[in-house]
Amino acid sequence: MADTADLSKGLPTNPEKATLEGKNKFLGMFVFLAGEVTMFATFFGTYLGLRDGTAGGPEPADLFQLPLVFIMTMILLTSSLTSVLAVYAMKKNQFQKLKLWMWVTFLLGVSFLSLEIYEFVEYYEHGLGYTSSAFASSFYTLVGLHGAHVLFGLGWILLLLLRYRGTGVTLSNAPKFYAFSLYWHFIDVVWVFIFTVVYLMGIGA
Amino acid sequence: MDPAWDEFIITGEPFILAGQIAILVTTIGIIFILTYFKKWKWLWNEWITTPDHRKIGIMYIIASLLMMIRAGVDAMMMRTQLAAPNMPFLGEAQHYNEIFTTHGTIMIIFVATPFLIGLMNVAVPLQIGARDVAFPFVNNLSFWTFFWGAMLFNISFVIGGAPDAGWSAYMPLASNDLSMGPGQNFYLLGLQISGIGTLATGINLVTTIIKMRAKGMTLMRMPMFTWTTLITSLIIIGSFPILTVALAMQTFDRLWDAAFFTLQDGGMPMMWVNLFWLWGHPEVYIVILPAFGIFSEIITTFARKRLFGYTSMVFAIAAISGLSFLVWVHHFFTMGAGPMVNSFFSISTMAIAVPTGVKIFNWLATLHRGRIRFNVPMVWALGFIPNFTIGGVTGVMLAMAAADYQYHNTYFLVSHFHYVLIAGTIFGCFAGTIYWWPKMFGVKLNERLGHWVFWLFMIGFNVTFFPQYFLGLDGMPRRIYTYFPEDGWFSLNFLSTVGAYMMGFAFVLLVYNMYYSYRYEKRETSGDAWGGRTLEWATSSAIPPHYNFAQIPEVKDQDAFWQMKQEGVDPNGVEEYQDVHMPNHSGNPFVMCVFMFIGGFGLVFHWWTIGIIGALGIFACMIQRSFSRDDGHIVSAEEVRKEEAEIREGQANENG
């Protein structure tokens, strides 16, 4: 399985792909994300099919506040950037920097999630309960599923940071940090689609 | 929903009572045997926690056979009920509805899919010259999600009540208003849990096949079964998440009153039908393509010829997989999508016949002038070609949207999909199991019994389903639990029931053969039981050593092992042994999946506390896993050398 790499000259430049196990994780993560694409695509399709089914309740244009959603978008995009900086530090074997940027990513993720919870509470107070209409169910499920992914990602990076707090970059943890960063980019991309399809098209229509 | 305790366990049905007693007796029996023979530790260490792809494959196959017995009993009960007009056998329509629902769901989700995944697990890593799959831990997890998902679905008929909305669970029939009680919840959560495992297997196999092939095995030198596995895994990744979403939405509708499929709140019942078949049709190819791969392996081995048209086979599989996503509307032509839409899906459906036809002719051309041996796997493969073609031709008839208004919802359709699923998938599962049986257990299944099983099953199958085409043309609708003497459907139905019992008897004989052969058949001495052509037959012993190959063979040809034999190369003639890195055992997946079962069971009955306990347990297992150190272990070169020497010594004694 994992052929160990030659470490006599220090860590290789791509520590995440130096072993067979790392290569497998790298490809496996991409294939997993392909499955996630199918899942989100289905939810997007469902949302587009059901967003007019408001059953006399609140409609998208009554609810969405672009400034808030714009701030959320910026926060999440920035967190994607900080995770890139973390991986960049990892490739240069700078473990302290890796940890620092991952912690920044974590905090940005937490603030994104807090704003999303605040947003949902606002909508609820405006009369959009989960069971109010087909629009409500599909909106909360699509955006909520994305939020759940953010939450899962936060738990993931937290565990990685706690477990590897003093180990330095190794051939066994580099693929793990790298897989996390792939996942984090993916949920960022999904958010860009949510921003466009749900919010911009919701207000424009 | 909070059912009273006296309604919790189903009572008052003689067949269900028999089922309850059987479950109780079997459980006590298993516990007794394991305790008496002190096998608990062995079971845990050797099987439950194993990362070994071959053992996981065997567990998949055993579990699928058990599920086949369950769903097969359902089929027998249906056929008995329909044997004559006004039969009082099952009593009422409700019981019949539950039985056809569980029969269909179990046969597709818990028999066909896992059976083929089991065979993939056994054969694919060996065929590509790998020591295991890419993610052995995940592989174990996949099996246990399937197993516990299946258990959750199956206990429904003794606890709480079985689902009764058909395997396709259309809304609003499957909604709280029309399917009261917890039955449908069992369906939703059981399928959801096992679906996780199917998706994980897809990811695992794609990664394995792309990254872990032996040196020299280019994509176009891969054995055909590996090719079909790769494409099937890609279809799984493109389609199973759709089922996940659809099931989740129906679950939310039923448990938390969401409004996805309810008209009065702006929802769309047709959305369910579309999503279900957007998964459902690719699923059909998930269970047929691997069977095609198995037949390709068997036909080349027993015709002792190279596969005819290898490249066109690969392109045909790829074309079928692409088209499989473009035909889902043909399941509901009659729902009124309009002539343009129906025409499109009519044509795309018929187009699938083209690559499938290419494959049929390739198999025939492979047989042409081959030196054919009629061993049992081969007779299954030869039986497959004409029987499957009947199913395919009637499929093209059904694809004509205008004519479909006549066939829709009749026994014509029932017969069609049984012809493709039994003559394709089930024949393939049996053929593959018999073919790779020596690889799994070191012994061949008895050939004499095997031929009896084939002929009984094949004739029984035709006696069962051929009359159903005519019943359908005669107007008999599917899913009815009885009919009147004046309908004129008695004689053909009776014939069909006779055939069903033949198939049932053949299946019992097949299972008996497994026992008989294990007791009495001669043990295989070499890894090459059938004169094989691909790498799984190149192992040093009949049952491959746990590291599969002491040294990964180098591939120079599409029929890698055949070419080695032609040139007199010994794949096991290792000059210098090397350390082998192997994965560790882990009990984590088993425990995690038990928590999935517990959580799912809680949700079925709206017992939120139990649901939350299940979820917390799952997360605890994930955290435990991420903090545990697991870099596998090294089997030293010396140990490998010793084991190989022992194998050779054993073979020398056998032959000397």
The residue ranges of every structural domain in chain B are: 39-586+630-655
Does A190 lie at the interface with B, CB-CB under 8 angstroms?
Answer: no
Does A152 lie at the interface with B, CB-CB under 8 angstroms?
Answer: no
Task: For domain A24-46+62-204, give its CATH number from 3.40.50.300, 3.10.310.30, 1.20.120.80, 1.10.150.120.
Answer: 1.20.120.80
Q: Number of CB pairs < 8 Å for A and B?
A: 123
Give the rounded percent of residues in chain A with a pLDDT score beyond 90: 71
Does A44 lie at the interface with B, CB-CB under 8 angstroms?
Answer: no
Band (pLDDT 50/70/90 cuts) for residue A205 is low
Q: Hey, are the CB atoms on B211 and A27 less than 8 Å from each other? A: yes
Residue of B nearest to A4 (CA): B581
Residue of B nearest to A23 (CA): B211
pLDDT at residue B471 tops 70: yes
Partner residue facing A141 (CB), from B202, B239, B252: B252
Higher pLDDT, B430 or B8: B430
Mutant choice from B207, B243, B270, B627 vs A, greatest count of A C-beta within 10 A: B207
What distances in angstroms separate CA B312 from CA B307, B363, B392, B535, one per listed residue? 11, 11, 19, 22
Dump pLDDT digits (tens) for B576-623. 888 898 999 999 999 999 999 999 999 999 999 999 999 999 999 999
**With contacts defined as CB-CB under 8 Å, which chain B residues touch A1?**
131-132, 581-583, 632
Q: Hey, are the CB atoms on B265 and A53 less than 8 Å from each other? A: yes
* Amino acid in the structure at residue A107: L
pLDDT of residue A1: 39
φ, ψ of residue B634 to 5 degrees: the values are -105, 125
Q: Hey, are the CB atoms on A38 and B626 less than 8 Å from each other? A: no
Residue of A nearest to B239 (CA): A38
pLDDT at residue B461 tops 90: yes
Q: Hey, are the CB atoms on B135 and A24 less than 8 Å from each other? A: yes
* Amino acid in the structure at residue A13: T
Residue of B nearest to A140 (CA): B258
Assigned CATH topology for domain B39-586+630-655: Cytochrome C Oxidase; Chain A (1.20.210)
pLDDT at residue A75 tops 50: yes
pLDDT of residue B180: 87
Alpha-carbon dihedral B478, B480, B481, B484, rounded to 10 degrees: -110
pLDDT of residue A5: 58
Does A134 lie at the interface with B, CB-CB under 8 angstroms?
Answer: yes
pLDDT of residue A2: 42
Residue of B nearest to A142 (CA): B245
Exposure of A117 by Cβ count < 10 A (0-12 exposed, 13-18 middle, 19+ buried)?
A: exposed
Partner residue facing B268 (CB), from A35, A49, A133: A49
Q: Hey, are the CB atoms on A24 and B207 less than 8 Å from each other? A: yes
- B246 contacts B170 by C-beta, under 8 angstroms: no
Higher pLDDT, A133 or B5: A133
Dump pLDDT digits (tens) for B122-157. 999 999 999 999 999 999 999 999 999 999 999 998
User: Is the pTM of the predicted complex or chain greater than 0.90?
Assistant: yes
Band (pLDDT 50/70/90 cuts) for residue A59 is confident
pLDDT at residue A4 tops 60: no
Q: Hey, are the CB atoms on A20 and B211 less than 8 Å from each other? A: yes
Interfacial A residues in 87-106 facing B (CB < 8 Å): none
Q: Hey, are the CB atoms on A24 and B239 less than 8 Å from each other? A: no
Dump pLDDT digits (tens) for B381-403. 999 999 999 999 999 999 999 99
- B86 contacts B104 by C-beta, under 8 angstroms: no
Residue of A nearest to B245 (CA): A39
Mean pLDDT of chain A: 91
pLDDT at residue B312 tops 80: yes
pLDDT of residue A19: 86
Residue of A nearest to B625 (CA): A159
- B590 contacts B544 by C-beta, under 8 angstroms: no
* Distant-in-sequence, close-in-space partners of B29: CB < 8 Å, separation ≥ 6: none
Three-state secondary structure call for residue B526 = coil
**Alpha helices by DSSP H, B257-309:** 269-303
Of A25, A84, A72, whose CA–CA distance to A194 is shortest? A72
**With contacts defined as CB-CB under 8 Å, which chain B residues touch A43?**
245
Q: Which residue is associated with the tokens 């065997």?
A: B58
Band (pLDDT 50/70/90 cuts) for residue A202 is confident
Q: Hey, are the CB atoms on A32 and B240 less than 8 Å from each other? A: no
